[in-house]
């Protein structure tokens, strides 16, 4: 059996319990060495074969999995964050399915969640943004034509931009071309949850300069939107005047509802 496991964003204790259990039992671990914290490998058994996929092709990864399956071994394919986000997961699953090899997936804490924790923010605020757009700049990997940064910027929703730290001047130009103001609050979160984590608050207009001054050109997420600002509305769910399946409205508590902005 092959298990795709989300390693989490970096901190060793942000892997799931299930993921850690599987690592402890694995005969073979294929991990994405460029971003997975190598300290996670301390969980594996001494006789476990460890392969770093950073220097491997898809074909080599599959060949290693097939070898392990032929020997009745258990493989953990350890992906950074959650495997469903820029994980090159689908191509592996499709080949394994075609070969009749069984696999399952253990989710992980994606770096976009760790970045929100690092800035102590909530992506979805009433009256500010109810959508989170996870996207990237076009690099060597093309982005479909109707999914460019400028198209998304037009919505004013929360944006989390992966894989783009080396192109921040272009990013800020596209964000503003799409409709975001230069003053829109932004943050650069470098290595969220790692000991060397850095959080830099800035504005769209100063993204490139801020990263340059801090010497950050990789392994960061760019967060953009008014969720980083100060105004929002309180939730209906916990509002005294709002009834729902688990609670009846009790307007007598209204005195406590002064958080409404
Ligand atoms: N599957 C991963 C993303 C892999 S793509 C996930 O769910 O997080 C790799 C990109 O993710 C990096 O270039 C960077 O933009 C981002 N990234 C991964 N780990 C990060 C971290 N700890 N802090 C900030 N960004 C991170």
What's the pLDDT score for residue 261? Answer: 44
Which of ligand 1's atoms lies nearest the C-alpha of 84?
1
CA separation for the pair 160, 228 (Å, rounded): 12
Dig out the tokens for 153 from the structure: 């910027």
What's the pLDDT score for residue 9? Answer: 98
Strands 158-162 and 220-224, sheet pairing: antiparallel
What's the pLDDT score for residue 130? Answer: 96
Tens of pLDDT along the chain (261 residues) come to 999 999 999 999 999 999 999 999 999 999 999 899 999 999 999 999 999 999 999 999 999 999 999 999 999 999 999 999 999 999 999 999 999 999 999 999 999 999 999 999 999 999 999 999 999 999 888 999 888 999 999 999 999 999 999 999 999 999 999 999 999 999 999 999 999 999 999 999 999 999 999 999 999 999 999 999 999 988 888 888 888 998 888 888 876 555 444
Ligand 1, CB within 6 Å, residue ranges:
9-10, 35, 79-82, 85-87, 110-111, 114-115, 162-163, 189, 191-194, 219-221
Edge-first strand listing for the sheet containing 75-79: 49-52, 28-31, 75-79, 2-6, 103-106
What's the pLDDT score for residue 251? Answer: 85
Q: What are 152-176's pLDDT values in tens digits?
A: 999 999 999 999 999 999 999 999 9
Determine the distance separating the centroid of ligand 1 and the alpha carbon of 81, expressed in angstroms: 7
How many Cα atoms occupy the beta-carbon half-sphere of 62 within 13 Å?
A: 17
Determine the distance separating the centroid of ligand 1 and the alpha carbon of 92, expressed in angstroms: 19
DSSP single-letter state for residue 249: -
Dig out the tokens for 103 from the structure: 């696999």
CA distances, 151 to each of 75, 125, 174 (Å):
41, 21, 9
The domain over range 112-228 is classified in CATH as 3.40.630.40: no
Please check whether residue 17 is in contact with residue 120, taking contact to mean a CB–CB distance below 8 angstroms. Answer: no
CA separation for the pair 199, 165 (Å, rounded): 14
> Which of 160, 162, 223, 224 is the pocket-test mutation for ligand 1 (most atoms within 8 Å of CB)?
162
Residue nearest to atom 4 of ligand 1 (CA): 86
Please list the helix, strand and coil fractions of the chain in percent, rounded to the nearest 5, in that order. Answer: 35, 20, 45
Residue nearest to atom 25 of ligand 1 (CA): 220
Q: What are 220-233's pLDDT values in tens digits?
A: 999 999 999 999 98
Domains of the chain, by residue range, sit at 2-109, 112-228
Exposure of 4 by Cβ count < 10 A (0-12 exposed, 13-18 middle, 19+ buried)?
buried
Fold (topology level) of 2-109? Cobalt-precorrin-4 Transmethylase; domain 1 (3.40.1010)
Determine the distance separating the centroid of ligand 1 and the alpha carbon of 9, expressed in angstroms: 7
Determine the distance separating the centroid of ligand 1 and the alpha carbon of 198, expressed in angstroms: 14
């Amino acid at each position: 059996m092959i298990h795709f496991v989300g390693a989490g964003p970096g901190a060793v204790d942000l892997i799931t319990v299930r993921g850690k259990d599987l690592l402890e039992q694995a005969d073979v671990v294929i991990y994405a060495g460029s971003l997975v914290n190598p300290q996670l490998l301390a969980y594996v058994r001494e006789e476990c074969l460890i392969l770093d996929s950073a220097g491997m092709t898809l074909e080599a990864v599959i060949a290693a999995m097939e070898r392990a399956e032929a020997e009745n071994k258990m493989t953990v394919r350890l992906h950074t964050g959650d495997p469903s986000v820029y994980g090159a997961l689908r191509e592996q699953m499709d080949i394994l399915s075609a070969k009749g090899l069984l696999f399952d997936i253990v989710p992980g804490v994606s770096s976009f969640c760790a970045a929100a924790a690092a800035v102590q923010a909530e992506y979805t605020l009433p009256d500010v943004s109810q959508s989170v757009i996870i996207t990237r700049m076009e690099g060597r990997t093309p982005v479909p034509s109707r999914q460019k940064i400028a198209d998304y910027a037009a919505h004013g929703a929360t944006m989390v931009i992966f894989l783009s730290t080396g192109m921040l001047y272009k990013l800020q130009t596209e964000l503003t071309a799409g409709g975001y103001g230069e003053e829109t609050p932004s943050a650069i979160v470098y290595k969220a949850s790692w000991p060397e984590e850095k959080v830099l608050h800035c504005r769209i207009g100063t993204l490139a300069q801020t990263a340059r001054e801090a010497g950050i050109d990789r392994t960061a997420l760019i967060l953009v939107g008014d969720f980083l600002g100060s105004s929002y509305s309180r939730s209906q769910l916990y509002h005294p005047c709002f009834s729902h399946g688990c609670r009846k409205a009790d307007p007598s508590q209204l005195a406590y509802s002064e958080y409404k902005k």
